[in-house]
Chains A and B, each alone.
Chain A
């Protein structure tokens, strides 16, 4: 890595860490921008480690879900990118295991991978979407309405005549459930 590249990676790290701290403090706009910014990086990491597997986008989505649900395991005084890469690696190994392949996810040089654009950005056949169908009751309705029908928390609260707080709780629970369903498939 030459000096220019190194300083680019460094400032990227600073920006990501700052956005994550803001996100953890409740700034959801910064948080969303961060998730969007890291996705091409995750795609590159996943694509490289899956080597030629078609369902890169499924794994990218799993990684994003894990990052979201495990964001309280990042130490705000530690660098963000290594934490991000550790989660990406963990979920990629999981994905390889699920597909019955020997897990060989290199950890070196992750910071050098080139960000990648999506080939498919996920489709209606995405694994996560299928699993949304396996949620039950309120969790299902709420996750479905927000993720697939594009509604906001307040829309959903009105439609289901629930308080926004209750919708938030059910959404969070539903996302954790989704991660659990993914894990079931992995083991």
Chain B
């Protein structure tokens, strides 16, 4: 095939896919809805949800999860482009871990050390470990699909970001069900759940996001 023939062929293919920004926005929106629906079907809110909203520890879980999902979403867009340079948004990814470290330090100074073990292990470690990946599965799939339609320069990293985003969303919803509010619990069990989803995202990204 001559290159001119190829060019003529490409110029007769008028079908344009929707712009990647639109696709990604739509995917993130759908991911939020899907995460919410799975959470509602599987777990639902804890009975004392409303009064719990007056406690700092409970609210912090949402702040942390929202910052994590939000910063991952911000980075997901440039990560889906073909440029092989780190985006200027990337340092934002440190925000959520920094919040968590701050909260853990605050907790350790406020709570007597005799209590640490109890609030660290909590009641729901195993449920937490299973729920976050379960809620994150469908959102992860839909975000990966949207990225696949784009052109991520680094498929593995882009997949990991998709996992971080899906894991953050799942943590946000799971937080409303979970009775364990201590940052010690969150920094361990939530983080493990989100980390698992991120790893799965990276693995799938390496397979699905090549172009």
Contact = CB atoms under 8 A, between A and B. Distances in A.
Interface of A: 24, 26, 28-29, 31-32, 35-36, 39, 57, 60-61, 64-66, 68, 70-73, 75, 82-83, 86-87, 89-90, 107, 118, 121-124, 126, 128-129, 132, 143, 146-148, 150, 152-153, 168-169, 171-172, 175, 179, 183, 186-187
Contacts of B80: 73
Interface in B1-52: 1-21
B211 A72 contact: no
* Main DSSP-derived SS at the A contact region: helix
A123 B210 CA distance: 27
A122 B2 CA distance: 4
B210 A183 contact: yes
B3 A64 contact: yes
Contact of A86 (B2, B11, B83, B210): B83
A70 B153 CA distance: 12
A44 B104 CA distance: 55
A31 B11 contact: yes
Would you list the 4 A-B pairs with minimal beta carbon distance, nearest first?
A: A32-B11, A172-B15, A129-B1, A86-B82
Contacts of B7: 32, 35-36, 39, 64
B160 interface: no
Given A65-B6, A121-B4, A28 B84 contact: no
A153 to B, nearest CB: 6
A64 B19 CA distance: 19
12 contacts: A26-B14, A65-B6, A70-B211, A83-B83, A90-B82, A90-B211, A121-B2, A143-B9, A146-B12, A169-B15, A175-B9, A183-B211
B151 interface: yes
A82 B6 CA distance: 23
A73 B6 contact: no
Interface residues of B, number: 32
A80 to B, nearest CB: 12
Contacts of A153: 12
Nearest to A146: B9
Given A70-B82, A73-B151, A90-B153, A175 B5 contact: no
A60 B3 contact: yes
A72 B16 CA distance: 7
B13 A171 contact: yes
A65 B10 contact: yes
B10 A68 contact: yes
A148 B9 CA distance: 9
B126 to A, nearest CB: 37
A28 B11 contact: yes
Given A73-B80, A183-B210, A61 B8 contact: no
A74 to B, nearest CB: 9
B81 interface: yes
Given A39-B7, A121-B3, A168 B14 contact: yes
B140 interface: no
B84 A107 contact: yes
Nearest to B10: A68
B76 interface: no
Contacts of B4: 36, 121
B82 A72 contact: no
Contacts of B82: 70, 73, 83, 86-87, 90
B150 interface: yes
Given A68-B10, A122-B2, A186-B210, 20 more contacts: A28-B11, A29-B11, A32-B11, A39-B7, A61-B3, A64-B6, A65-B10, A70-B150, A73-B80, A73-B82, A83-B82, A86-B84, A121-B3, A122-B1, A123-B2, A126-B2, A146-B9, A147-B1, A147-B6, A168-B14
